[in-house]
Amino acid sequence: MYTNVAGIKSPNPFWLASAPPTNSGYQVQRAFEAGWGGAVWKTLGEPIINTSSRFAAVSFNGQRVAGFNNIELITDRPLEVNLREIEETKLRFPDHAIIASLMVEPEQEKWHEIVKRVEAVGVDGLELNFGCPHGMAERGMGAASGQVPELVEKQTYWVKEVAQTPVIVKLTPNITDITVTAESAVQGGADAVSMINTINSLAGVDIHTWNTVPNVDGKGAHGGYCGPAVKPIALNMVAECARNPSINVPISGIGGIGDWQNTVEFMLMGASGVQVCTAAMHHGFSIVEDMIDGLSNYLDEKGIGSVQEIIGKTVPKYSDWGDMDLNYQTVARINNDVCINCNKCHIACEDTAHQCIDMLKGEDGEPILQVREEECVGCNLCSIVCPVDGAIDMIEKDNNLPPLSWNTRQNAINAKSLANS
Amino acid sequence: MSTGNEMLLEKLQANFNEVEPPLSHQEAFEEASRCLYCYDAPCITACPTGIEIPSFIKKIASDNLLGSARKIMEANPVGASCARVCPTEELCEGACVLNGSTQPIMIGKLQRYATDWAIHNEKVLFKSGKPNGKSVGVIGGGPAGLSAARELGLMGYGVTIYEAEEEAGGLDTYGIVSFRLPKRVSFWEVDQVKQVGVDIRTNTRVGRDVSLEELKENHDAVILSVGMSDVPMLGIEGEELNGVHDAIEFVKQTKSGQLSQAFAGKKGVVIGAGNTAIDGATCAVRLGAENMKILYRRSEKEMTAYDFEYEFAKQDGVEFRWLTAPKRLIGDEAGNVCAIECEKMELGEADADGRRRPMPIPDSTFTLEVDFVIKAIGQTRYTDLLEQFNIHHDGGVVTLNDDRFETSVNNVFSCGDVIFGKGQGEAMVVTASEQGKQTAYQVHEKLSGLQAESTA
């Protein structure tokens, strides 16, 4: 379980992200008692004033907190108080990682000053908050600087000028290509990057009062989105950075991670460790117990000695669309002994895919569903909407065709036309 | 300060409160969210009225309760009652595909949730159709009659229901025990039927308060949906004694006016083991009877009560005495029943209906002390009325022409329990409702000449 992200060591890969759960020494100490390996302290900077009414969440089909939205800013407690509590916590938990999240105005002296002050109380590393999408961005900080590659590089450089501990740059997803800012961070000397911060969002509109959700005395503003719903977005951004040779620093994965399985996914995709917030806010710090236990059992079952061995194992499998084999084929096969005949696969295919699942009668007149395999394109939709595990398998179909990717195909066509010209 | 009597009455009244708790908003939402929203869902096929169940459930999940209630009541004009009294495990819930993987959706309870919402919020779900100038008379305002009248009202017919009782609703109002189906639910359904312009004349018995000739003269078609009548005579000695009750009447009394305090602490028996017998026994328990026994001349296997009703009676402490037939009722000097003489039976060869015939065991007579007896051995038919109409029937069961719900008399149609029996139909509220709808369509076809066209 021992984890090392760019020299920041922790007993396990589970850190609490810089957010409300890491607002105070009391909370972080409770988290460490519960088993969390590290904590990124809620962002330090010039104290601000927060609004009342801050969070909102999206429920889906009765599942609460499928997505989470907040308009809370960085810490609203005096810097001295936070520093004192960091020092106390570090003394009590010397083996746990405490990383200070920092955000100041984009001026060299301001960065130098805060870095020196937090390192003086014994933090294990620094995380530069270039991602907070609301409030701070309006003042030229957070995502406002994180969206400008030059500012990312310059500010990272200023921090590195004085920092004694490893520097992680936390990136905003509110940008067209996150690898650009990740590369800027590397250019500025970052020891690691972490991603993603929250995504610009509006959780909802109250259809009865016509107010935004959340609203502050009838007014709303965009917040930052996180939680399970953002996991696929975060996972792709981690993967894109992991497979980019110019971004050759460790990645701390963040975004919708709520259990050990998500953790494994992020680590396979290149993260050296993960940060969690929404799941803890939803269920409390104790969720880390199963995260550790589940990950440990997974590693044992796979015969893997250290969690670090799985880092990036799936990265070579992630490439561009043009590299995929166009001749590879899968088809759906329905197991009628498992199928419960809800017909969801039929109607999904019939209305919205390729019209190749028939509702038939079996020998005894019982209803059965059957795929016309010659017309199935292997889109997976039926197996996605199927409510019963094991009722629909997507199986490989050997068509005796050699592998052929779009890129190979285009290259061959180009070569041929060149030869013919 | 309450007197002893008032306290007893309060206690008894509490016994008649609905036993099944409603779903909370949260429970309903979670259960509705669990529905798979099957395509061509088997629950719809399993519902005699064909309610689009996944659709009404989806509407609960989307908090469109008005749409949900309308979807239910559109297909089933007595859908609020059916939500409570349908044997759902044999119908919609029995057909739910989740039976094969997890637990079936609680369709009945969700249906109740949506209709309860409409009742609570006093929603009017339907408007009458554009008047078409034609008129239909409906005899009997039970589930079948109400259902037929509602459909005809929607189509623009002028409909009059002739109801012999003080209130319409039939079985739902008077025959189903309060702790399963409170009267207010039935009254709301009656009100929904009134809202589509149907005129309901209560306390009006056809043949007594209004003549057949008047009906035929005033209406273009007549629908006969009078249901069934009293419990037949047992044909044994002592039947006229005080304390011998008809189960139908006994249940009706618990749904009309003040509850009787005469059964508290008493011992009683019910003769018969159908759903009405269970109702009689459980009502008596809730009126404070100290001991209730159900006597049945056949065995547990032949009993016609639904499994859940049987289970419910056992939970209420009702005892069952199988293979026991009443031989004689014994009275005291005041003419009150005080004992019942019974004899033990054994099952012989199968009868014409496939059930094994009970045969008395010689010298097996024994006597039970009782304070009252409830008879629940079926229901008699309104044979006289059928005779007056000159309607062909088989032992009081109306004979229908084809599948058109039309009787042997031109433009007189029939549906509900009055056509149930002799291998014809089912006795559930939900089938009566569907028959009412179908009868309305047949009436419409005939009166609008559609039938003539389609067969031309």
Residues 6 or more apart whose CB falls under 8 angstroms from that of B171 comprise: B142, B143, B227, B417, B429
- Name every chain B residue with its beta carbon within 8 A of the beta carbon of A60: none
Which of these ranges, B198-202, B387-391, B411-415, has the smallest mean pLDDT?
B387-391
Are the C-beta atoms of residues B299 and B320 closer than 8 Å to each other?
no
Provide the domain count of chain B: 3
Q: Are B67 and B177 within one domain?
A: no
Residue A28 lies in a domain: yes
Indicate which CATH number applies to the domain containing B88. 1.10.1060.10
Which chain A residue is nearest to residue B62, measuring alpha carbons?
A61
Residue A119 lies in a domain: yes
At residue B6 the predicted structure's pLDDT band, cuts being 50, 70 and 90, is confident
pLDDT in tens, A198-238: 999 999 999 999 999 999 999 999 999 999 999 999 999 99
- Name every chain B residue with its beta carbon within 8 A of the beta carbon of A387: 36, 101
Q: Is B12 strand, coil or helix? A: helix
Residue B261 lies in a domain: yes
Quick check: A340 and B40 CB within 8 A?
Answer: no
Q: Are A327 and A241 within one domain?
A: no
Residue B127 lies in a domain: no
pLDDT at residue A402 greater than cutoff 70 = yes
Per-chain mean pLDDT for chain B? 94
**Percentage with pLDDT > 90 across chain B:** 87
Stretch B61-83: mean pLDDT, rounded?
A: 97
Q: Are B294 and B369 within one domain?
A: yes
Residue B238 lies in a domain: no
Residue A275 lies in a domain: yes
Of A151, A146, A150, the residue nearest A178 (C-alpha): A146
The last residue of one of the domains, among B120, B147, B163, is B120
CA distances, A324 to each of A319, A381, A404, A406, A415 (Å): 8, 20, 8, 7, 20
Q: Are B426 and B389 within one domain?
A: yes
What value does the CA radius of gyration of chain A take, rounded to a whole number of Å? Answer: 25
At residue B8 the predicted structure's pLDDT band, cuts being 50, 70 and 90, is confident
Instruction: Tell which A residues from 192 to 251 touch B, by Cβ distance under 8 Å.
Output: none
Q: Is A421 on the interface with B (CB under 8 A)?
A: no
pLDDT in tens, B102-158: 999 999 999 999 999 999 999 999 999 999 999 999 999 999 999 999 999 999 999
Which of these ranges, A133-137, A144-148, B299-303, has the smallest mean pLDDT?
A133-137
Of B365, B374, B419, the residue nearest B392 (C-alpha): B419
What's residue A417's pLDDT?
Answer: 86
- Name every chain A residue with its beta carbon within 8 A of the beta carbon of B97: 340-342
User: A135 or B55: whose pLDDT is higher?
Assistant: B55
Q: Are B339 and B320 within one domain?
A: yes
* DSSP per-residue codes, B439-454: HHHHHHHHHTTHHHHH
Per-chain mean pLDDT for chain A? 95
- Name every chain A residue with its beta carbon within 8 A of the beta carbon of B39: 342-344, 346-347
Q: Are A128 and A273 within one domain?
A: yes
Residue A248 lies in a domain: yes
* DSSP per-residue codes, A213-235: ES-BTTB---EEEESGGGHHHHH
Of B163, B188, B174, the residue nearest B83 (C-alpha): B188
The secondary element (H helix, E strand) that includes residue A393 is strand A392-396
Are the C-beta atoms of residues B294 and B281 closer than 8 Å to each other?
yes
Quick check: B39 and A343 CB within 8 A?
Answer: yes
Q: Are B249 and B363 within one domain?
A: yes
pLDDT at residue B92 greater than cutoff 70 = yes
How far is the alpha carbon of A118 from chain B, nearest alpha carbon, in Å?
Answer: 48
User: B445 or B212: whose pLDDT is higher?
Assistant: B445
Residue A109 has a CB neighbour count (10 Å cut-off) of 10
Q: Are A94 and A150 within one domain?
A: yes
Are the C-beta atoms of residues A389 and A405 closer than 8 Å to each other?
no
| CB-nearest partner of B97 from A61, A62, A341 | A341
Q: Are A309 and A387 within one domain?
A: no
Indicate which CATH number applies to the domain containing A201. 3.20.20.70
Q: Are A325 and A299 within one domain?
A: no
- Name every chain B residue with its beta carbon within 8 A of the beta carbon of A359: 40
- Name every chain B residue with its beta carbon within 8 A of the beta carbon of A388: 100-101
pLDDT in tens, A285-344: 999 999 999 999 999 999 999 999 999 999 999 999 999 999 999 999 999 999 999 999
pLDDT at residue A263 greater than cutoff 50 = yes
Enclosing domain of residue A340: 321-396
CA distance linking residue B426 with residue A267, whole number of Å? 63
Q: Are B50 and B104 within one domain?
A: yes
Residue B167 lies in a domain: yes
| Residue B406 per-residue DSSP state | B
**Percentage with pLDDT > 70 across chain A:** 100
Residue B128 lies in a domain: no
Q: Are B366 and B399 within one domain?
A: no
The last residue of one of the domains, among B349, B375, B401, is B375
Q: Are A308 and A349 within one domain?
A: no
Q: Are A191 and A325 within one domain?
A: no
Q: Are B324 and B439 within one domain?
A: no
Quick check: B40 and A387 CB within 8 A?
Answer: no
Which residue out of B38, B44, B62, B99 would a mutagenesis test of the A interface target, given it has the greatest number of A Cβ atoms within 10 Å? B38
pLDDT in tens, A364-379: 999 999 999 999 999 9
At residue B453 the predicted structure's pLDDT band, cuts being 50, 70 and 90, is very low
Structure tokens given for B35: 């529905």
Quick check: B100 and A344 CB within 8 A?
Answer: no
Q: Are A28 and A177 within one domain?
A: yes
**Percentage with pLDDT > 70 across chain B:** 98
Are the C-beta atoms of residues A240 and A196 closer than 8 Å to each other?
no
CA distances, A258 to each of A67, A75, A230, A278 (Å): 12, 24, 11, 8
Quick check: A340 and B101 CB within 8 A?
Answer: yes
Q: Are B261 and B153 within one domain?
A: no
What's residue A388's pLDDT?
Answer: 94
> Strand (E) positions, B317-429?
319-321, 324-331, 337-350, 356-360, 366-369, 372-375, 393-394, 397-398, 412-414
Are the C-beta atoms of residues B408 and B401 closer than 8 Å to each other?
yes
Indicate which CATH number applies to the domain containing A330. 3.30.70.20
Catalytically annotated residue among A132, A241, A345, A386: A132
Stretch B373-382: mean pLDDT, rounded?
A: 94
Q: Are B198 and B259 within one domain?
A: no
Quick check: A343 and B100 CB within 8 A?
Answer: no
How far is the alpha carbon of A342 from chain B, nearest alpha carbon, in Å?
Answer: 5
Quick check: A62 and B33 CB within 8 A?
Answer: yes
At residue B2 the predicted structure's pLDDT band, cuts being 50, 70 and 90, is low
Residue A410 lies in a domain: no
Whether A241 is catalytic: no
Cβ pairs A/B, distance under 8 A: 36
What's residue A225's pLDDT?
Answer: 96
- Model-level ipTM above the cut of 0.90: no
Residue B257 lies in a domain: yes
How far is the alpha carbon of B432 from chain A, nearest alpha carbon, in Å?
Answer: 29
Residue B4 lies in a domain: no
Quick check: B42 and A341 CB within 8 A?
Answer: yes
Stretch A79-105: mean pLDDT, rounded?
A: 97
CA distance linking residue B245 with residue B370, whole number of Å? 13
User: B2 or A106: whose pLDDT is higher?
Assistant: A106
pLDDT at residue B456 greater than cutoff 50 = no
Provide the domain count of chain A: 2
pLDDT at residue B100 greater than cutoff 80 = no
Distance of CA A343 to the CA centre of its chain: 34
Residue A419 lies in a domain: no
What's residue B450's pLDDT?
Answer: 63
Q: Are B371 and B249 within one domain?
A: yes
Residue A205 lies in a domain: yes
Q: Are A136 and A120 within one domain?
A: yes
How far is the alpha carbon of B403 from chain A, nearest alpha carbon, in Å?
Answer: 26
Q: Are B368 and B255 within one domain?
A: yes
Q: Are A155 and A197 within one domain?
A: yes
The last residue of one of the domains, among B375, B396, B419, is B375
State the first-to-last Cα distance of chain A, in angstroms, to the nearest integer.
60
ω into residue A214 within 30 of 0, thus cis? yes
Indicate which CATH number applies to the domain containing B313. 3.50.50.60
CA distance linking residue A307 with residue A299, whole number of Å? 7
The secondary element (H helix, E strand) that includes residue A299 is helix A287-302
| Residue A26 per-residue DSSP state | H
How far is the alpha carbon of B29 from chain A, nearest alpha carbon, in Å?
Answer: 7
pLDDT at residue B257 greater than cutoff 70 = yes
Stretch A116-145: mean pLDDT, rounded?
A: 88
At residue B7 the predicted structure's pLDDT band, cuts being 50, 70 and 90, is confident
Q: Are A28 and A60 within one domain?
A: yes
* DSSP per-residue codes, A186-218: HHTT-SEEEE--PEEE--EE-TTT--EES-BTT
CA distance linking residue B189 with residue B184, whole number of Å? 9
- Name every chain B residue with its beta carbon within 8 A of the beta carbon of A343: 38-41
Task: Work out the widest C-alpha separation in chain B, in whole angstroms.
Answer: 76
Enclosing domain of residue B141: 135-229+381-455
Of B376, B368, B372, B356, the residue nearest B313 (C-alpha): B376
How far is the alpha carbon of B232 from chain A, nearest alpha carbon, in Å?
Answer: 44
Dihedral class, residue B124 (left if φ above 0, else alpha if ψ from -120 to 50, else beta): beta
Q: Are A46 and A177 within one domain?
A: yes
pLDDT at residue A79 greater than cutoff 50 = yes
Stretch B396-416: mean pLDDT, rounded?
A: 92
The last residue of one of the domains, among A314, A344, A372, is A314
Q: Is A336 on the interface with B (CB under 8 A)?
A: no
Residue B369 lies in a domain: yes
Quick check: B101 and A388 CB within 8 A?
Answer: yes
